[in-house]
Structure formats: C-alpha cells, structure tokens
Amino acid sequence: MAALKVVHYMNQFFAGIGGEEVADAAPGSMQGPVGPGIALARALREDAEIVGTVYCGDNRMAEDGGSVVDELVKLVGEFAPDVVIAGPAFGSGRYGLACGRLCAAVQETLRLPTVMGVHVDSPAIEANRGVVRMVPTSETAVGMADALSALAKMAVKLASNDHLGSAYEEGYIPTGRRQNRFSDQTAAKRATGMLLRKLRGEDHLTEWPLPQYDRVAPAPPLADPANATIALVTEGGIVLKGNPSRLESGWASKWLMYDIGGEGAMSSEKYQSIHGGFDTTAASAEPNRMVPLDTARDLEHEGVIGRLHDALLTTTGNMGPLSSFKQYGEEMAAELLRAKVDGVVLTAT
C-alpha cells in the first residue's frame, strides 16, 4: 500500500518564519516537512509521508474574518493529502484556536480527516470538542517528541479508516459524545468491581465522569465601605465602541482594562457589549445596565464608598474552559491587589 499523504499546519514560529514580530504573516506553504515536521515525518515512519507544510501567523489567524482560513484550505487542497495534522500547539491559546479553525474548515470543505495536538487547558478544546479530533500534549514544547508520536499514530488511524476506540483506550481528548455498547456484566457488577479496584488503590475508570468545580470561600464584608476603594469588574463583554482590542464574543482569550477615572457614567457613544451569549441591544444602548458606573459615582459623591477605582476590568464570560477564566480571575485579582483595591462590584450575565 502506498504511503498516506500528510499536510502539516504550523504557526509562523514553528514554521521558521519568525516570532511575534511576524505574527501577522500571511498564509503560505512549502514542500515537504519543516521544523518539527521533520521529527513528525520520522514518527510517521513508512506509514505516511509529509508532502507539504502550510503556515500562518497567529495574529493573522486570530484577526481573520474567514478569508485567511479559506486561503489555507486552498493551499492544503493543492497537496491532495489523505489527512491533515495541525500543531502541536501545546498551551498556546492563539495557536491552538488557529489549529482548530483550520481543521474544522478542512473537514467541512475538503472532507478530509484531521487531528491536532493541544494542552488540556487550551481554550481550543471547548471551541472544537466533538468537531475536531484532538490529542493531549504537554503545556510547552518540552513534550514535543511525545506529542508528535501521538499525532502520527492518530493521523494514520484516521486516514486508514481504522476502528477508533474510546478516548480512554486511544488516548485522545474526550469528544463529549457517548456511544452505547454491550457489556457482558450488569451495571451492578461493573459498579462493584470499580469500587473494589478503587478501595485497593488500583486503576479504575468511572463510566460517568463528573465535572470538578472549585469551592471559593466568600470574602468577609468590608468593615468600612466609606473609606474603601471599590473597583468595577464585568464579564459582560463591555468594550470600547468598535471593539478595537478584538475581545472575543465567546471563548475569550484575554481580559481588558479601561481608564474610567474621569467619567461619570458609561456612554453608549463610547462603549458597547460584544457578548455572544445574550441579546446585547439593551446593554449597548445603556452600558450602565452592565457596568453601573453612574450609580457608583453617586455612591462615591454621597460618601457611601470612599473612592471608585480608576480602571474598569472586563472580559467575556461566554463559553470557554473554566481553567482559562480561572487564570483571568487570578490576573485581575493580582492587578486589583497591586492597585490597593478593597472591594469589587462584579457584574455578570
């Protein structure tokens, strides 16, 4: 059987184009493997060969409205591959999301199997779960060899139309879909066996994994609000008009900070909501509904609170992994502690 043909997608850094200074690099392609693709070719062995490499800058992909992905899909198609491998992106948010967008577009347009490598905390997972096949990697390129090995194995299996077992059996990231299958044991026997293995400290796997949520103890009330500095924070997607910072309407990859020190209210001529999880008409028409700056100023003038912090912290709390939003919360908290803020009014949708 002839070797399967593979196209490998990478960002500008791993493709050898450059670092952040060329993160707006346009889509391009090269013959054969490049950079990490050379090690990927070795991992594929005689089963497959990398016939081409396509690449694009991370910023170019993040800011693209669709034309860049279309161009990349066209470049992929010119190599007539059997499968597309993207990444590994490790813990990089922009790179991971770019891999997911391209893989999804290749599947839809070219009807080809794809696989990408990404760290389990990447926002790309929830953005592509159940759509793109993904294998877990380390957070950094330290785990490059293991990641390439896993990608090669999965790519060959997908391109060969081999039967794919469960995520636990095959080592890919769970898709969120469940399939029924017959067992030679009743549910009672399976549950008892799992309990006994757990008590003995042996490997065990639940048939219904539950999400894990952190328990956050509430902070004590402010002892003296009249002498406290209060900050306004929102996950309602409030941004400057036109969204010049490109905050995402879902799966937010960042949070923003705006200076509101000289403002008495949130003006609809200056601010809007770009949140993708609700109808933003009312919030954009009257941003004070989402960020109560007008009321907070009244409380400040009346002496109910000591001072209003000069910065508004904002992000979009719509979709995305909890790990990312935990990170944003920790970063916001660090900024507010640095500014000696005593309390926060956090508005949520």
Do residues 144 and 339 lie in contact, with contact meaning Cβ atoms separated by under 8 Å?
no
138 in the same domain as 24? yes
What integer pLDDT is reported at residue 165 of this predicted model? Answer: 83
pTM of the model: 0.61
255 in the same domain as 115? no
32 in the same domain as 140? yes
- Of 125, 148, 170, which residue sits at a domain end? 170
153 in the same domain as 15? yes
- Say whether 177 sits in a helix, a strand or coil: coil
What integer pLDDT is reported at residue 320 of this predicted model? Answer: 73
- Of 139, 170, 201, which residue sits at a domain end? 170
Handedness of CA 259, 261, 267, 273 (dihedral sign): positive
For 68, the domain range is: 4-170
147 in the same domain as 25? yes
Residue 41 in tokens: 């070719």
165 in the same domain as 260? no
- Say whether 81 sits in a helix, a strand or coil: coil
What integer pLDDT is reported at residue 43 of this predicted model? Answer: 96
Q: How far is CA 348 from the centre of its chain?
A: 20
Do residues 238 and 317 lie in contact, with contact meaning Cβ atoms separated by under 8 Å?
no
134 in the same domain as 8? yes
For residues 247 and 237, give the distance between their C-alpha atoms in angstroms, rounded to a whole number: 8
Within-domain flag for 91 = yes
261 in the same domain as 148? no
166 in the same domain as 230? no
What integer pLDDT is reported at residue 2 of this predicted model? Answer: 63
What integer pLDDT is reported at residue 276 of this predicted model? Answer: 87
* Cβ neighbours around 200 below 10 Å, total: 9
With DSSP H G I counted as helix, E B as strand and the rest as coil, what are the percentages for the chain, rounded to 5?
35, 20, 45
Within-domain flag for 195 = no
261 in the same domain as 160? no
Q: How far is CA 260 from the centre of its chain?
A: 29
For residues 173 and 125, give the distance between their C-alpha atoms in angstroms, rounded to a whole number: 8
pLDDT in tens, the chain (349 residues): 468 999 999 999 999 999 888 889 999 999 999 999 999 999 999 999 999 999 999 989 988 767 999 999 999 999 999 999 999 999 888 899 999 999 999 999 999 999 999 998 888 888 888 899 999 999 889 999 999 999 999 999 999 988 888 887 888 998 877 777 788 899 999 999 999 999 999 987 777 767 667 788 888 999 999 999 999 999 999 999 999 999 999 889 999 999 999 999 999 999 999 998 888 999 999 999 999 999 999 999 999 999 999 999 999 998 777 778 889 999 999 999 999 999 999 999 8
What integer pLDDT is reported at residue 344 of this predicted model? Answer: 96
Q: What is the CATH number of the domain that holds 119?
A: 3.40.50.2300
For residues 72 and 27, give the distance between their C-alpha atoms in angstroms, rounded to a whole number: 6
For residues 145 and 141, give the distance between their C-alpha atoms in angstroms, rounded to a whole number: 9
Burial (CB count <10 Å: 0-12, 13-18, 19+), residue 107 = middle
- Say whether 292 sits in a helix, a strand or coil: coil
The candidate with the shortest Cα–Cα distance to 309, out of 239, 260, 272, is 260
The candidate with the shortest Cα–Cα distance to 309, out of 298, 325, 293, 295, is 293
Structural domain total, the chain:
2
Residue 96 in tokens: 């991971």
The candidate with the shortest Cα–Cα distance to 47, out of 163, 126, 157, is 157
What integer pLDDT is reported at residue 65 of this predicted model? Answer: 67
For residues 275 and 238, give the distance between their C-alpha atoms in angstroms, rounded to a whole number: 8
- Of 126, 153, 170, which residue sits at a domain end? 170
242 in the same domain as 125? no
161 in the same domain as 85? yes
Give, in order, the Cα–Cα distances in Å from 199 to each of 189, 193, 203: 15, 10, 10
Within-domain flag for 69 = yes
For residues 138 and 147, give the distance between their C-alpha atoms in angstroms, rounded to a whole number: 8
What integer pLDDT is reported at residue 263 of this predicted model? Answer: 96
